[in-house]
């Protein structure tokens, strides 16, 4: 019996070559003994044609952490990275579990420290960029002097790989809805920024160097934001960039300084507007500090707020993909 020719291609064609070689040997047997072998050969071939592609497709839909990938999300080339098809955002996986939210060292609205459990989700590895906003075809102005109620350039202009800014909370919501994602809840943002060990900053407890973040005293902070993929040394435990400095980021939550005292233990989010006071509108939570601020404002537990209609040249956002 001749041996099959060596084939070094992908596994599926290799299996078919082996199957065809096996089947070609069966007719050489004489008499009725060859018929069960032919039947077995046909069964093997049918199995290869159906089961193997199914297994390959299943493997392709499995994430780096063994999870089943949502439709529209796929593994990126770099290990641990994912690519969301709609806006081509690189995302990372935040596993389900608990973390201590808040800080006893910070302001009153950061207290009490409380244990929060979150379901698994994905978050943008980088802040949403000007390039992504332009690709979405959502409106913006390209004039610094524009008085239109639209996002407009900062003093240093529109740079595609810099974070999108001058966006209101509703602008950020419009983008996240277009992309098929959401704004992060305050709890999702904080866990992605500091992990589960209660650290002060995304990189640990030590104050930043110029490699960690862009803030008021950083040389670049005097002139412009950094690129969305800058400051790799300051990445969070999950590999999320610029969770400290560069720009403030909108969260889903309505700001309430007393929310932590009554926060649910599982997947908390505050969507209730305040019932007291003469506020001119609804305040939304901002996280992460910005290039115009001090180091203390970049702490991962630090909470800030602005009216959801406000837009400034140091406020942007990133999005999350919740898992059904």
Environment class of 63 (CB within 10 Å of its CB; exposed 0-12, middle 13-18, buried 19+): middle
- Of 203, 194, 185, which Cα lies nearest the Cα of 119? 185
Per-residue confidence (pLDDT) for residue 145, from 0 to 100: 87
Cis peptide, bond prior to residue 38, ω within 30 of zero: no
pTM: 0.83
Q: How far apart are the first and last CA of the chain?
A: 55
Cα separation, 276 vs 282, in Å, equals 12
User: Domain 73-322: which topology?
Assistant: 3.90.1580
Give the pLDDT confidence score for residue 147 in this predicted structure.
Answer: 87
Measured in degrees and rounded to the nearest 5, phi and psi for residue 166 equal 60, 35
What is the chain's pLDDT, residue by residue, as a tens digit (324 residues)? 444 343 344 444 444 444 444 445 445 545 545 555 555 555 555 555 554 444 444 555 899 999 999 999 999 999 999 999 999 999 999 999 999 999 999 999 999 999 999 999 999 999 999 999 999 999 999 999 888 899 999 999 999 999 999 999 999 999 999 999 999 999 999 999 999 999 999 999 999 999 999 999 999 998 999 999 999 999 999 999 999 999 999 999 999 999 999 999 999 999 998 776 666 789 999 999 999 999 999 999 999 999 999 999 999 999 999 998
**Helix/strand/coil (H, E, C) string of 118-152?**
ECCEEEECCCCEHHHHHHHCCCCCCCCCCCCCCCC
Question: By the 8 A CB rule, do 81 and 89 touch?
Answer: no
| CA pair distance 255, 269, nearest whole angstrom | 10
Domain assignments of the chain as residue spans, ordered by start: 11-60, 73-322
- Residues counted in the chain: 324
User: Measured between alpha carbons, how far is 284 from 257 in angstroms, rounded to an integer?
Assistant: 11
């Amino acid at each position: 019996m001749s041996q099959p020719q060596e084939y070094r291609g992908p596994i599926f064609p290799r299996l078919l070559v082996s199957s065809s070689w096996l089947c070609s040997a069966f007719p050489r047997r004489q008499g009725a003994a060859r018929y069960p072998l032919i039947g077995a050969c046909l069964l093997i071939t049918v199995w290869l044609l159906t089961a193997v592609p199914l297994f390959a497709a299943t493997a392709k839909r499995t994430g780096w952490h063994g999870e089943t990938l949502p439709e529209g999300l796929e593994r990126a080339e770099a290990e641990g990275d994912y690519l969301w098809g709609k806006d081509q955002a690189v995302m990372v996986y935040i596993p389900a579990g608990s973390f201590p939210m808040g800080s006893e060292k910070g302001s009153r609205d950061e207290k009490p420290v409380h244990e929060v459990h979150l379901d698994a989700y994905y978050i943008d590895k980088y802040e949403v960029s000007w390039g992504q906003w332009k690709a979405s075809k959502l409106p913006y102005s390209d004039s610094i002097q524009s008085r239109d109620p639209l996002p407009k350039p900062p003093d240093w202009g529109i740079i595609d790989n810099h974070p999108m800014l001058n966006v209101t909370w509703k602008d950020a919501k419009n983008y996240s809805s277009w992309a098929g994602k959401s704004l992060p809840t305050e709890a999702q943002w904080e866990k992605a920024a500091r992990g589960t060990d209660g650290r002060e900053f995304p990189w640990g407890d030590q104050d930043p160097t110029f490699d960690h973040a862009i803030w008021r005293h950083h040389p670049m902070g005097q002139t412009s934001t950094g690129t969305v993929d800058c400051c790799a040394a300051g990445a969070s435990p999950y590999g999320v960039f610029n969770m400290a400095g560069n720009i403030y980021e909108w969260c889903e939550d309505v700001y309430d300084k007393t929310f932590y005292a009554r926060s649910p233990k599982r997947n908390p989010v505050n969507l209730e507007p305040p019932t007291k006071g003469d506020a001119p509108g609804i305040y939304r939570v901002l996280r992460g500090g910005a290039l115009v601020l001090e180091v203390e404002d970049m702490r991962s537990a630090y909470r800030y707020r602005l009216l959801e209609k406000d837009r400034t040249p140091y406020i942007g956002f990133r999005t999350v993909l919740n898992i059904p």
